[in-house]
Structure 1
Amino acid sequence: MPQYLIYFNQQWVGDHSAEWFAERGPLAEAAVEEIKAAGAYVFAGGLEQDTPIFSADATSGTVLFTDGPYVETKEHLGGMTIVNVPDDETARMWAGKLAVACGWPQEVRRIV
């Protein structure tokens, strides 16, 4: 059965009050619990925003570790869910439930 990555970029979240986020948390947790109950859950998690970021690059033949993101970009990954489902339509359904629960867009890609 194929696996799908459902994810969002942090910039898609937008600016909201602490109360708004507090209301969304239980909705997102409920959506993940629904995925688990359906037997489609592989992994889910959000990325820490205020922790060290580092990169490992071995393209020169020697591993070089650097602090901070590898590339300068305005968008960065905010969180992800991996589901194990039979088809694109089922992956779409879970992405839709997560988008409603979180209150921001989700993107879906099949994992190869």
Structure 2
Amino acid sequence: MTKYLISFPSGAMVLHDEDLQAVSDASHAVVEQAKAAGVWVFGGGIDESVPPVMVDGDGTVTEGTYPQTRQLEGGYAVLELPSHEAAVEWAAKFATACRCAQEVRAFGYDPAS
């Protein structure tokens, strides 16, 4: 089985205030479906109020991040699934619940795990 990252950036979710509760309820329902199906690994949203830091091997901490990941935010789910097709099916469920398209990426196989 492969782990898949299903995600979206914050800016993709454009909602009116009156829709927030419905979207929250719908997305939590999909999470519960994934848990019940035994495919849920981890998920959540990036806390955008906490700024990122870079940590070097010697422990030096520097504020900021890599330029190419400056916009890393939004919501994420990691599911363990039997196929890319299954990941696309779950992404469609999240897209419906969150009212925005979802990106699907596969994690590389780790033979040590």
- TM norm. shorter chain > 0.5: yes
From 61, 67, 71, the equivalent of 1:75 is 71
**Identical-residue share of aligned pairs (%):** 35
TM-score (norm 2): 0.83
Given candidates 78, 83, 86, the residue that maps to 2:82 is 86
Q: Does 1:54 align with 2:53?
A: yes
Q: Which amino acid aligns with 2:106?
A: R
Query: What TM-score comes out, normalization by structure 1 length?
Result: 0.84
- Which aligned runs of 4 or more in structure 1 are off by greater than 3 angstroms? 72-75
Q: CA RMSD in A?
A: 1.8
Q: How does 1:86-105 map to 2 (within 5 A)?
A: 86-105=82-101
Q: Distance in 1 between matches of 2:70 and 2:40?
A: 30
Q: How many residues are paired up? A: 108
Instruction: Name structure 2 gaps, 5 residues minimum.
Output: 109-113
